[in-house]
Amino acid sequence: MLKKLLFGIWGLLLIPLIAPVAAKWLAEHIFSDSRGAATTVFRDAIATPAFTHLLALGQQPWFRFAVVFLTGVVVGVALEWLSRKSGERKADRLRSLGWKFRSLSESLRLRTASPGWPDNARELQPAMLSLFGSARKFDLWAPNERAFQLPDATFLCEYLRCVGKHLEDGDFDDARKEALSWRPFLDQVKRNS
């Protein structure tokens, strides 16, 4: 409500600034027919005094200050609103990413319940690699294809489940910390193999 009021007041303050252009356009297109009695009466009785007052108001120093000040406020409010909307979209994308993490964790767990890792999860690898790429775009640590060389899928299942839970809950800082906490485990397995 306050934002609408602010934009409304700002719009009204712009009228005296637009008045010279509007007066010129009306004079050239509407009031140019000096033979019409109605046109002459309207121009002389209403339009000319109204534009004269608007032009005088637009020349006042306090008015110019008010327009500049309110323009700054309007720009600030608009930028804050855009930033909040952008943040909300990013949060929605991260929550969606979290859901995909957890869903993929469950799919991987079900596939690897029987022996045969990593062959029994080969068709999930492209989806996981794509998901890891998406995670990196949000500055989340994610394993690479070398994680498929681990002795079993426990690491990937738990990584996806834990990080996905934080993302779904909207705990983005915790998700980043959680993701990074898994890195030493993968590095240690790589050194041992």
For the segment 177-192, what is each residue's pLDDT rounded down to a tens digit? Answer: 999 999 988 777 655 5
Comparison of pLDDT for 59 and 139, the residue scoring more? 139
Condensed to tens digits (0 to 9), the pLDDT of residues 131-175 reads 999 999 999 999 988 888 888 888 999 999 999 999 999 999 999
**Region label for 36, one of left (φ > 0), alpha (ψ between -120 and 50) or beta (otherwise):** beta
Condensed to tens digits (0 to 9), the pLDDT of residues 63-94 reads 788 888 888 888 888 889 889 999 899 999 99
Comparison of pLDDT for 43 and 181, the residue scoring more? 181
- pLDDT recorded at residue 33: 60
Residues ≥6 apart with Cβ < 8 Å to 94: 138, 167, 170, 172, 175
